[in-house]
Chains A and B, each alone.
Chain A
Amino acid sequence: MSDTASPAVEARQLVKRYGNVVAVDGVSFQATRGEIFGFLGANGAGKTTTLRMLCGLLRPTSGMALIDGIDIVAQPVPAKAKLGYLDEEPFVHPHLTGREFLDFVADLYGMARGRQRVERMERLLNLFDLAQKDGELIGGYSHGMRQKIGLASLLIREPSVLLLDEPTNGLDPRSARLVKDLLEELAARGTTVLLSTHILEVAQALCRRVAIIDRGRIVAIGSMDELRVQTGSEGANLEDLFLKLTAGPESRDMIERLLEGGS
């Protein structure tokens, strides 16, 4: 059951195994209502797998994923009605136009038809500069445009929880800025945003708290100040903290070794 006192998004000891490979290993965190929560990690760290478990695309090997207190595995339909998920490669239908796709998504989620829906669709298409592409099929869209239509398909129905995997990936600077503004605005209105990104500047600018995942495990979680305290790095920015927490060989050393080997 939904519980207003419960966190908007909660991962409870989530584990995902593929044979002997543990992709996600006991991930736990909570995001509260109206919070933009950053989820950071290197390539292959387990960010996308965690997000996909939270939105119900992947079944956890163990642990629980809760949306507004609803277990997405036990009660998928009511949980999914509350959330919107944007994949790093948005799920779109290439043989529909942008407008038709938004209409499809609105119907899929049972949104009332009528003037307001059409008006909202027009606004979103205008907002993302997609209105002039009306006659064009999504199959012909660039990656950035697909990203925009994917975002528009989430915003048309205003879910209370947004799980976004690299939402600014492929966007031009203007659109990226627009997305950042939108997310802040949505959060201010009570939407919870779980943001997975590689772009640490975006995370630092938007997120009240962040979780850093490395090789399937959460290695740090909290606000910037809390992370600085945890790592004993006063005054460090998010990039420094991230590199410290996911320590690997220093990139400068690696470059030197590579160039020495090549010369």
Chain B
Amino acid sequence: MSGALAVILRAQVLGAWNRLTKRNPARLVILAISLVVAGVFLGGGAFAVGATAGHFLPFALDSLLAAGFTALSLLMLVVGFPTVISSLFVGRDLLQLVVAPVRTRDIFAARLMTAVTANLLLSFILAAGVLGVGAGAGASWFYFPMALLLIVLQVLVVTSLQAILMTVILRWVPAKLARDVAAGVAGLTGAALYLAWNLNLRKTFGRRGAPDVTNLTSFVSRIDWLPTTWPGHALSAALQGSIGPALVWVLVTVALCVLLVATAELLYERTLLYGLGVFGAPTAAWRRRKARPIQPAPPLTAGALRARAELPTGSGAQGSPYRALAIKDWLGFRRDVRRLTRLLPALLLPLGYAAALTQPARSLSGFWSNVALVTFLSMFMSSALASPSVPSERRGFQLIRLAPLTMWQLLRAKVFIALPPVLATMLVFSLAVAVTSKSGAVQLLELVIFGVWLAAGFVSISVSGGAIDPHFEATDDRRSVGVVGTLTAIGGSLGFAVISIGALALFLFGEQAAAGTANLGPLPSTPVVGFAMILGGVLLVAAACALVGVLLTFANARLRSFDASISES
């Protein structure tokens, strides 16, 4: 290893170590627990699935392994792209490395170590599955190190391919924009996968019998030429004890990896020479619209300031801070690709559910299923849109603190700004589920009123959560709310949801009991019981309002006592 490469790597490791150790210990513990749980759950699950397949489906192992490596490659290509762009092309510390007497090859090698992290994390699931296949099929000992080697090679292949793609894309698209768009695509992919998994759960659980892998084998036979399948073929040959073919597949995979890494390094060097990436942006193509013609106005010279005192201060309507914040947020949202990328996956879920529910086979039956869906989606949308609304002010928050504006006004404005899109989505969704489940007009009205109530509550709670623990320096909305704020928002929203559904149930059943038509089990269906239930519903509504009020008050107090500087992010 060259001296410069060792120095850069040491600095990277030190930086990563400092980021980890300088954190709040409580956060570290939460992070460690999450990692262990995810590792056991995902890794253990993948290993079990792999072992089962290895034991019971020996005839389909080649297809399974080839498909596994191909799927992993596609997932890495999409989900790991933002990390690759950030590591190789966006970090400002690259500037220092470039002006130092360091070979580009060393810079590339050092940054590649960081660039592979997201892809390596993703490959962990496949590694568990592939090792499980080996264990289930009773593979020889050399299968296991070979599997790990092939996975590492695949990670390098995909990462190099991403680097090569970026060296081309950068000629037209600025690096930061490319990273943000890639993050959006990754978010959409994640949301789409979640949606597909969720919607297919019922179907999967409904089906019983022997698994059919005919489709898989025929599919893999069509994509057999893809290099992403080569490691799968190598492992399959190793499982069958064919050492020669296994070695050939490994060698061609190694050759491909070397070729792609070398090409990526060469192109990276040329990219730095062109001054792209963090060193500049391509010209012209991504300029904003041309400036509108400037309206001629008398120049404001120092002397003219004297005359300005006589100018009337304005004759139009009074300016409104609410309007100012709404316009600013709208423009910021529209122009900030990163914020848009946060919104799109959030929108995909209600739209996906609405579309899926229009299929007769999947339509839900029952009013309470619709209530549960509306509650979940309202909570999800509010969390995505309203939680970051205060922290997304970033350094501009100081501007608001300097203005003659109370923090109550700011919170109110943020709630009013986030509410319309959440309401609109919920109304469309309520309408869709009510129509597809063939609910009557009364039930639709009940659902809509409940949706509006939930949206107002969830948005207020989410705004409060963001205001209670804002990270104004975060450049990414997903990191703009701290653990305390996130937990407060989630806890508050869950509490609000439970109380609200309870209140709705008491109102609906109370009304039926008052009319003598309710079936309440041991309770008699009488007007007195009905009245008592409606009264209980009113009390729950009051409790829900109190919950929202308490969180908003706490948020107001936290914002008022904010006493820190916010550095440029």
Contact = CB atoms under 8 A, between A and B. Distances in A.
Contacts of B335: 95, 137
Contact of A185 (B291, B302, B336, B561): B302
Given A116-B313, A136-B291, A80 B403 contact: yes
Greatest chain A CB density within 10 A among B289, B291, B314 is at: B314
B331 A100 contact: yes
A135 B316 CA distance: 25
Nearest to B311: A116
A76 B409 CA distance: 14
B289 A135 contact: yes
Contact of B399 (A91, A119, A136, A186): A91
Interface stretch (A34-42, A52-60, A199-207, A223-231): A52-60
Contacts of B565: 52, 57
A124 B297 CA distance: 9
Given A93-B328, A113-B317, A116-B313, A123 B298 contact: yes
Contact of B291 (A80, A100, A108, A134): A134
Interface stretch (B76-84, B318-326, B511-519): B318-326
B137 to A, nearest CB: 55
Given A78-B404, A111-B313, A116-B314, A89 B302 contact: no
B563 interface: yes
B402 A113 contact: no
Interface stretch (A7-15, A125-133, A251-259): A125-133
A81 B304 CA distance: 24
B524 interface: no
Given A56-B401, A185-B306, A108 B324 contact: yes
B210 interface: no
Nearest to A163: B402
A87 B328 CA distance: 21
A186 B319 contact: no
B404 to A, nearest CB: 4
Given A80-B402, A91-B402, A107 B306 contact: no
Interface in B291-318: 291-292, 294-295, 297-306, 308-309, 311-318
Interface in A89-118: 89, 91-93, 95-96, 100, 103-117
A242 interface: no
A137 B306 contact: no
A189 to B, nearest CB: 6
Contact of A96 (B312, B316, B328): B328
Contacts of B561: 59
A189 B305 contact: yes
Interface size class of B (residues with CB under 8 A): 35 or more
B284 to A, nearest CB: 13
Contacts of A76: 404, 406
Contacts of B313: 111-112, 116
A57 B401 contact: yes
Contacts of B404: 76-78, 80-81, 109-110
A116 B312 contact: yes
Contacts of B401: 56-57
B369 interface: no
A123 B303 CA distance: 13
A189 B311 contact: no
Given A104-B327, A108-B403, A113 B318 contact: yes
Contacts of B97: none
A95 B332 contact: yes
B321 A58 contact: no
A182 interface: yes
A120 B405 CA distance: 23
B324 A104 contact: yes
Given A127-B301, A186-B305, A110 B319 contact: yes
B297 A112 contact: no
B28 to A, nearest CB: 23
Dominant secondary structure at the B interface: loop
B314 A134 contact: no
A56 B402 contact: yes
A112 to B, nearest CB: 3
Interface in B378-413: 395-396, 398-406
B288 interface: yes
B290 interface: yes
B306 A189 contact: yes
A95 B563 contact: no
Contact of B396 (A52, A92, A116): A92
A122 to B, nearest CB: 4
Contacts of B406: 76-77
Contact of B316 (A92, A95, A112): A112
Interface in A165-222: 178, 181-182, 184-186, 188-189
B402 A112 contact: no
Interface in B183-231: none
A113 B299 CA distance: 21
Given A93-B328, A104-B328, A124-B300, A135 B290 contact: yes
Nearest to B407: A76
Interface in B83-121: none
A225 B270 CA distance: 62
A123 B314 contact: no
A88 B221 CA distance: 64
Contacts of A116: 311-315
A127 B292 contact: no
A123 to B, nearest CB: 4
A126 B297 contact: yes
B305 A132 contact: no
A93 B399 CA distance: 9
B405 A131 contact: no
B302 A182 contact: yes
A14 to B, nearest CB: 14
A96 B331 contact: yes
Given A59-B563, A109-B319, A112-B315, A89 B291 contact: no
B138 to A, nearest CB: 59
Given A123-B299, A134-B291, A189 B327 contact: no
Contacts of A182: 302, 305
Contact of A105 (B303, B331, B399, B568): B399
A115 B312 CA distance: 10
A123 B302 CA distance: 11
Contacts of A77: 404-406
Nearest to A126: B299
B292 A96 contact: no
B563 A58 contact: yes
A109 B403 contact: yes
Contact of A114 (B288, B300, B309, B315): B315
Given A56-B401, A137-B288, A189-B306, 7 more contacts: A57-B401, A77-B404, A80-B405, A91-B402, A106-B324, A119-B297, A189-B309
10 contacts: A52-B565, A76-B404, A77-B406, A81-B404, A105-B403, A106-B324, A112-B315, A117-B316, A137-B288, A186-B305
Shortest 10 CB-CB distances between A and B: which pairs? A114-B316, A112-B314, A107-B324, A122-B297, A123-B300, A113-B316, A107-B319, A81-B404, A181-B302, A135-B291
Interface of B: 287-292, 294-295, 297-306, 308-309, 311-321, 323-325, 327-328, 331-332, 335-336, 395-396, 398-406, 561, 563, 565, 568
